[in-house]
Amino acid sequence: MIVDKKDRLLFMGDSITDSNRNYQAIPAGWSSWGDGYVHLINAYTTALLPQMELMIVNRGISGDTVVDLKKRWKDDVLAFQPDWVTIMIGVNDVWRHFDGTFAQTELVGIERFESELRDLIAQTLPSVKGMILLTPFMVEANKEDPLREMLTNYQHVLAKVAQEYGILLGDTQEKFDDFLLYQSSYVLSSDRVHPSTAGHVLIAKTWLETVGILEERP
């Protein structure tokens, strides 16, 4: 386990991280975690590691791309002085290429995605104990689906950047793919992106294994 007693663990991302959190709640206060994987991680660490007194902070905002994260990084991340920062981002950067063209939404190409991600990591690493990247995912078994195929390239960027900076990477896509060997995608998501509670369990499990709180098991 890499975390220490009283560490501040901050989670940044889009709607999957946000998951209906209360923006008016104090950090790590009631309803501040939302109802997704951050909430589950907080529940697990609070109940089973009470001696650690970990502070779990959710800074996800629905709809965000990596460009949006950068705009609020100084205020929402660096100013909080966290010990560990987890980033889950990328699905909106890809999704907007499919559902945002007629709205003339700003599209984030893969080169800019990598550049912005590198900048966020470079800004953050000197002031934290470490960072964790969680891959964006699609609840889609067909790897040739156009959206999933594009997302795979963004996932590869995350893996490459994590390796180069020596930071932890949690492969959430692998967890969803394993599930889809046995059950329909509709058990985990109605739109292939936003997960059910069961889907959030898979994300939470990925994170807990990545940081060594849970032992990885099939």
| Number of compact structural domains in the chain | 1
DSSP string, 101-152: TTTTPPP--HHHHHHHHHHHHHHHGGGSSEEEEE------S-TTSHHHHHHH
Are 202 and 195 spatial neighbours (Cβ–Cβ below 8 Å)? yes
154 CB burial (10 A radius; 0-12, 13-18, 19+): buried
Residue 38 in any domain: the answer is yes
Active site residue 15: yes
Residue 162 in any domain: the answer is yes
Instruction: Catalytic residue, from 75, 99, 178, 191: name it.
Output: 191
Provide the whole-model pTM: 0.95
Residue 200 in any domain: the answer is yes
Give the separation between CA 205 and CA 37, rounded to whole angstroms.
9
In the structure encoding, which two tokens stand for residue 167, read together?
């930071």
178-213 b/e with 16+ CB inside 10 Å = b? Answer: ebbeeeebeebbeebbbbeeebbbbbbbbbbbbbeb
In the structure encoding, which two tokens stand for residue 73, read together?
């990084």
Tens of pLDDT, residues 26-73: 999 999 999 999 999 999 999 999 999 999 999 999 999 999 999 999
Residue that is written with structure tokens 């292939």 in the block: 192
Instruction: Catalytic residue, from 32, 39, 93, 194: name it.
Output: 194
**Element counts in the chain: helices (H) and strands (E):** 8, 5
In the structure encoding, which two tokens stand for residue 89, read together?
């981002």
Tens of pLDDT, residues 90-123: 999 998 888 767 777 788 999 999 999 999 999 9
Query: Which residues form the domain of 200?
Result: 8-210
Task: Output the domain CATH number for residue 130.
Answer: 3.40.50.1110
Residue 106 in any domain: the answer is yes
Instruction: Catalytic residue, from 15, 19, 185, 189: name it.
Output: 15
Active site residue 127: no
Residue 193 in any domain: the answer is yes
Tens of pLDDT, residues 175-201: 999 999 999 999 999 999 999 999 999
Are 161 and 116 spatial neighbours (Cβ–Cβ below 8 Å)? no
